[in-house]
Structure 1
Amino acid sequence: MIVAAKYMRSIASAEPMSSVWGTEYEPGNAVVTDEDWEAYTRANTLSIYHPVGTCAMLPRKDGGVVDPKLRVYGVSRLRVVDASIIPIIPGAHIQTAVYGVAEMAADIIVAAWK
């Protein structure tokens, strides 16, 4: 994140952007050193409020909690069907991914009961 912010600053401070852009508003000229950037980032970065991955669908050896059939490792008759099985945050709002998880789960559960 800091590398990206520094890169954006370098773009904004180079021509032709610098003549159009004006004065940097955030984080401002006081943020210069790596320590400044880290402090600024820690103080001003927020969660995206779409947590995922707390019960990740991964192999157990990799820290996974559920298998590809959504069954919790080591627990019988328990499946997890929500955003927590998505191991990494998608590059978009998670709602579409959650719909996909729900559709997949419905198919898996129906097939298991046939």
Structure 2
Amino acid sequence: MAWILLLGAGAIEIGMAVALRYADGWSRPVPSMIGIVLALASIFLLTHALKSLPAGTAYAVWTGIGAIGVAVVGVLAFGESTAPLRLVCIGLVVTGVVGLRLLDA
């Protein structure tokens, strides 16, 4: 169950980052509030996952899911770079997240 909570927290973290991108430096109230609410929801789920998972593992996976997800959204929705070295680096983060999950299994 903790891994499901952690996965949910990471997914919500992606939504938070996208909302904050649209917040335009906190100048747009609706995306700003959405970003804050999603950040709190993500931290809430992370906190519950930490009851069963090692803190270092959970935090690394949580930030990794967020980083990977935001990078993918950036490429697909915002036309960000798909330079080969960038994709390799994102792949390394994926490898690290999967590796941490396998080590905890």
TM-score, normalised via structure 2 length: 0.32
Point out which structure has higher relative CO (alpha carbons under 8 A, 6+ apart). Answer: 2
More helix by share: 2
TM-score, normalised via structure 1 length: 0.30
